[in-house]
Structure 1
Amino acid sequence: MTEKLSESVRSEADEYRQGAERPLGGYALVMTAFAGLVGLAGAVAAVRGTSGRRITPYELLLMTAGTHKLSRLASKDAVTSPRRAPFTRYRDSGGPAEVMEDVRQTGQLRHAVGELVSCPFCLAVWVATGFSIGFLFAPGVTRVVASALTAVAGSDYLQLVYAHMQQVAENKH
């Protein structure tokens, strides 16, 4: 029975892949870890009686900008590349202080984690979930962290605007 189920799952996965290298087993493990983390946080919140706490619009704004910044820092910043190195390989420089990386192809879990840690859009789901859990259990500390990341995101924007305005001024002369 188990062998028949395994063969059916393998056959479905092969049909889905259509010959492409897709680490479905790695994705399944990453999703299971995410679901377990969220489930555990939900259970603890229910036991502690904090599950009814709501995120204010101000906290949502902080969480949005903070999620953006932390996702980019973790997935693209040159300084955080050692954390991604087991799962990616350096390809080229990216935007200001950012790098472009290729996901390692060996091992389904390594490949799936590589896709996660090198993609700011993918990582944002995890970061936002972390902020949500933080606002649930430690709103004061989470607010400070999200505020700092929001300030850095705003500063990045101003740096880019300044650099653009500087280029415009230099081109007029």
Structure 2
Amino acid sequence: MTTDAVRYDDQGDVPLAGYAALVSVFGAGVGAFTAVARHRGVRLPEEVPPWDVALLGAAAYKASRLLAKDKVTSFLRAPFTHRADEGEASEVMDEPRGSGVRRAVGDLVACPFCMSFWVGGALVCSYAASPRLTRLVSAGLGALTLADWLQYAWTWTQQADS
């Protein structure tokens, strides 16, 4: 088989092994949580009310954007990304750096959609172990999400008046 036949992308720089490592870390984390939770007798909720799903969704959205786009969390992304540009509302546009696992982590931490899977997983695990605490943390992140939308609405009204 030729090199071109086994290449996943046209440039040959997609870090598939790094992605596989990240998926393995995620799976191991969920597995470890499950084992510890079972050992401690954590019982899964009988049901998850729709408002909790909405609250967890808003929290996952905001936490993902904070981790992937906020200036203040740049120090977490810096080993794996470099600043490419400034975005809207003081967000930043980072691009992954390096190759292999470093590049894969850079792709993850610079992408709020990618981060939401990890944050959502952490929130679900937290909800299973401590629903009240998770609701409180999620309510705080949900309030930030609402505040962001109100900031955008205010900006829009100011621009409309001009």
Q: Is this contact kept in 2: 1:76–1:98, CA < 8 A?
A: yes
Are 1:88 and 2:81 matched, yes or no? yes
* In 2: Cα distance, 1:133 partner to 1:47 partner: 15
Amino acid at match of 1:127: V
In structure 2, the CA distance between the partners of 1:113 and 1:13, relative to structure 1 (3 Å rule), is farther
Q: CA deviation at 1:13?
A: 8.9
Q: Is this contact kept in 2: 1:55–1:135, CA < 8 A?
A: no
* In 2: Cα distance, 1:158 partner to 1:37 partner: 36
Q: Secondary structure at the match of 2:7?
A: helix
Q: Is this contact kept in 2: 1:42–1:51, CA < 8 A?
A: no
Q: Identity rate of aligned residues, in percent?
A: 38
Residue 125 of structure 1 corresponds to 117
Residue 57 of structure 2 corresponds to 64
Indicate which of 67, 70, 77 corresponds to 2:70. Answer: 77
In structure 2, the CA distance between the partners of 1:13 and 1:137, relative to structure 1 (3 Å rule), is farther
Amino acid at match of 2:160: V
Give the length in aligned residue pairs. 160
Q: CA deviation at 1:98?
A: 0.2
Q: Is this contact kept in 2: 1:65–1:149, CA < 8 A?
A: yes
Q: CA deviation at 1:140?
A: 1.8
Runs of 4 or more consecutive aligned structure 1 residues displaced over 6 Å after TM superposition: none
Instruction: Give the gaps of 5 or more residues in structure 1.
Output: 1-7
Larger Rg computed on CA atoms: 1
Indicate which of 36, 40, 45 corresponds to 2:32. Answer: 40
Out of 47-56 and 136-145, give the one that drifted further.
Answer: 47-56
In structure 2, the CA distance between the partners of 1:102 and 1:13, relative to structure 1 (3 Å rule), is farther
* In 1: Cα distance, 2:48 partner to 2:67 partner: 24
Residue 107 of structure 2 corresponds to 115
* In 1: Cα distance, 2:94 partner to 2:8 partner: 26
Q: RMSD of aligned C-alpha atoms?
A: 1.9
TM-score (norm 1): 0.85
TM-score (norm 2): 0.91
Q: CA deviation at 1:131?
A: 0.5
Out of 37-46 and 74-83, give the one that drifted further.
Answer: 37-46
Are 1:30 and 2:30 matched, yes or no? no
